[in-house]
Amino acid sequence: MELTFADIQAAHDVVRRHLPPTPLWSYPLLDRALGTSVLVKHENTQPVGAFKVRGGLTLLDALPEADRARGTVTWSTGNHAQSMAYASHLYGARCTVVMPANASPDRAAAVEAWGGRVVLTGATLEEACRHAERLAADSGARLVSPGDTPELLAGVGTVYLEILQQRPEVDVIVVPVGSGTGAAGACLAAGALAPGCAVIGVQSAASPAAHDSWRAGELLARPNRSTVAGLATGRGYALPQRVMRSGLADFLLVTDDEIGAARRLLATAAHTLAEGAGAAGIAAVLSRPDLFAGRSVAVVCTGGNADRSELDTLVDRREQDEPLATAGISVGGQSVTFRTF
């Protein structure tokens, strides 16, 4: 199925029946640290703490009653899982999520709290995917791909519709990329509402499958070593890659350490608790001040579901001897210091 901006508009009609638009705010201290004007779209304020909820609602609304009765099976390390469990709860459908055996216990518990069934199996997300495929085939449930399901892409695309309706003059939107549904949705929204707005993707260099697939123009598998769960996908997905191929202006890689620094900056300069993927856009701006200086930039804090290990890294251990730690960055040749607490 090919997607258009009309699909995002239709998804927005569904999403706004359930959820208000999330805030789009600027922060002077953040702008000072980044050396440019930045707007933060706060998807961390969603009821499941992440933007993926928009896709789950769009999918469950579109399912025929017979399919809802059979339920869904999907695979995920976190936010997509919560999205499916939340939407299934609202629509009275069964939901099974297969997660790798080493998945965050906090994120598995969050899925179960919304009534979803969690199956922990396999060492990787790809092994979880194969198990989900078997469960769906045996049970007759609808198999839901996190990346190649059109309704999910249309749903998450509503984030960027909201940004561009409110601020159509923005120059750049920076989008964290795991499967690529968010970046693809941003490309469709920008193409319709703000053709002059560049959409730039960002992924962890430790899990570069989507980035490398986009650069090569073909679907590739890559080692999946990032500790940032929302960006940790080991292969490219066909549907979002097709959209990104024609709509993405650039695709950057950042390190997990750079994402950690961005999380600390969001916490101190923007009063925002972000999970790793939710800070990836800020990490991209931090890593490439030359690319973003003088431009109006929108970034999406895609999620705030920081697990216990991520909460621990909000404290910069290199500065733990100081009662209130600081960290420095260089922007445009000038040193900027911010507190990391």
pLDDT greater than 90 at residue 250:
yes
Percentage, residues of the chain above pLDDT 90: 85
DSSP-assigned letter for residue 23? P
Q: What does the pLDDT read at residue 317?
A: 56
**What do you get for the CA distance between the two ends of the chain, in Å?**
48
- What pLDDT is stored for residue 269 in this prediction? 97
Tell me the per-residue pLDDT of 287-339, one tens digit each, with 9 for 90 and over. 999 999 999 999 999 999 887 777 777 876 555 444 434 445 443 344 445 44
Q: What is the pLDDT of residue 95?
A: 97
Residue 180 pLDDT exceeds 50: yes
Name the β-bridge partners of 95: 72
Per-residue pLDDT at 154: 98
What's the pLDDT at 45? 97
Burial of 207 (0-12, 13-18, 19+ CB in 10 A): buried
Predicted TM-score (pTM) of this structure = 0.90
Please name the residue that has the structure tokens 């609808």: 142
At 115, the pLDDT band (50, 70, 90 cuts) reads very high
Per-residue tokens: 66: 């017979």
Structure tokens at 154: 């249309």
C-alpha distances out from residue 329 to 32, 35, 95, Å: 11, 11, 45
**What pLDDT is stored for residue 111 in this prediction?**
96
What pLDDT was estimated at residue 311? 76
Where would I find the H helices in 149-208?
Answer: 150-166, 181-193
Give the per-residue pLDDT at 316: 65
Q: For residue range 17-61, list pLDDT tens digits in order.
A: 999 999 999 999 999 999 999 999 999 999 999 999 999 999 999
**Cβ atoms of 228 and 303 closer than 8 Å:** no
Q: Rounded mean pLDDT of the chain? A: 92
Could you give the CA distance from residue 229 to residue 137 in angstroms, rounded to a whole number?
Answer: 27
Residues 268-291 pLDDT 10s: 999 999 999 999 999 999 999 999
Q: Which residues have C-beta within 8 Å of that of residue 108, sequence separation ≥ 6?
A: 81, 99, 118, 120
- Single-letter residue type at 65: E
Q: Which residues 6+ apart lie within 8 Å of 243 measured at CB?
A: 3, 153, 184, 187, 188
What pLDDT is stored for residue 334 in this prediction?
Answer: 41
